[in-house]
């Protein structure tokens, strides 16, 4: 049973990721005084794309074709380790903070290389921007999370969450500063204003996606939606101040947050 619940959590989080992206699109449209698409538009787009043929550029290689499946595989793996509902994981070593950061780095690496693998200068611009953001943002996120790891005396995200919850408020100034740094980095990772440009979103923020079509594009959209939401879940899990202790559940063989 300790394997069952993390797998269910991963599948549920992955299924909900397009819904969260749809809510974001609706909120942005309202802020721009537009009606915008429906909340379920992301699901409609994915279903429509899955029924179409995937066409790859003539100059593309195996990296271009493999990237959608790498993105989805990495995001599903990360979702089994995030302490959103349970902290039990079929792969306990994935709960380590360093492991999660490297998994995110793998996804970003393939996403950037896929844009360069097409041979198109149009997608190369977006891929270069994605790589540059990774170089600038990930050290901020790493240092912010490392402060929490130093406080907990462990790099396991479950231990970090439990320690921070019981940490005295009078000694929480370093954690607050680290949380602000993580929130800033997560905001950039999610691609929200002012770090995206609505007039050139396809050219800059989604540049590596330009040459994808059909089912490959649908799979990559699902992975990209999950990636932006996972960053938020990761930081909120590490700095979570809600809920209670990690309480063992003998029926499930794992731990639940209550």
- Give the other-Cβ count within 10 Å of 62's Cβ: 8
- H or E segment and range at residue 233: helix 214-238
pLDDT given at position 252: 35
- H or E segment and range at residue 248: strand 246-249
Nearest-angstrom CA–CA distance, 26 and 220: 21
pLDDT given at position 233: 66
Asked whether the beta carbons of 101 and 108 are under 8 A apart, the reply is no
Gyration radius of the chain's alpha carbons: 19
Asked whether the beta carbons of 196 and 204 are under 8 A apart, the reply is yes
Secondary structure, 3-state, 147-177 = HHHHHHCCCEHHHHHHHHHCCCHHHCHHHHH
Query: Per-domain residue ranges for the chain?
Result: 4-257
| pLDDT of the chain, 258 residues: tens digit per residue | 466 777 787 888 888 888 888 888 888 788 778 887 888 888 888 899 888 888 887 777 888 888 888 988 888 888 887 777 655 455 666 777 888 888 888 888 888 888 888 877 778 877 887 788 778 888 888 888 888 888 888 788 777 777 777 777 777 788 888 888 888 887 777 766 666 665 555 556 566 777 888 888 888 888 877 877 766 666 665 555 443 343 333 333 344 343
Handedness of CA 183, 21, 71, 83 (dihedral sign): positive
pLDDT given at position 209: 78
Check whether the bond before 242 is cis (ω within 30° of 0): no
Nearest-angstrom CA–CA distance, 174 and 161: 15
Question: Tokens representing 53?
Answer: 């043929």
pLDDT given at position 206: 65
Nearest-angstrom CA–CA distance, 192 and 95: 27
Phi and psi, residue 173, nearest 5°? -60, -45
- 3-state secondary structure (DSSP) of residue 256: strand
Phi and psi, residue 40, nearest 5°? -90, 10
Nearest-angstrom CA–CA distance, 235 and 125: 29
């Amino acid at each position: 049973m300790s394997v069952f619940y993390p797998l269910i959590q991963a599948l549920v989080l992955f299924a909900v990721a397009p819904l969260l992206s749809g809510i974001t699109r609706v909120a942005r449209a309202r802020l721009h005084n537009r009606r915008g698409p429906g909340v379920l538009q992301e699901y409609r787009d994915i279903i429509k794309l899955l029924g179409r043929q995937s066409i790859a550029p003539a100059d593309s290689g195996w990296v271009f074709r493999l990237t959608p499946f790498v993105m989805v595989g990495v995001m599903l793996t990360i979702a089994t380790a995030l302490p959103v509902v349970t902290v039990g994981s079929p792969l306990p070593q994935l709960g380590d903070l360093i492991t999660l950061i490297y998994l995110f780095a793998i996804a970003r690496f393939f996403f950037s290389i896929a844009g360069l693998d097409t041979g198109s200068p149009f997608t190369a611009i977006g891929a270069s921007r994605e790589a540059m953001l990774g170089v600038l943002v990930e050290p901020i996120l790493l240092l912010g999370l490392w402060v929490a790891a130093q406080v907990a005396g462990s790099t396991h995200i479950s231990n970090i969450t439990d320690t921070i919850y019981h940490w005295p408020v009078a000694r929480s100034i370093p954690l607050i500063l680290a949380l602000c740094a993580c929130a800033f980095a997560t905001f950039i990772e999610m691609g929200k204003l002012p770090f995206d440009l609505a007039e050139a979103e396809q050219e800059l923020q989604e540049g590596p996606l330009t040459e994808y079509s059909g089912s490959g594009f649908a799979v990559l959209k699902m992975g990209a939606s999950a990636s932006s939401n996972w960053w938020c879940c990761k930081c909120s899990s590490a700095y979570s101040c809600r809920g209670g202790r990690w309480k063992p559940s003998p029926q499930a063989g794992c731990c639940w947050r209550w």
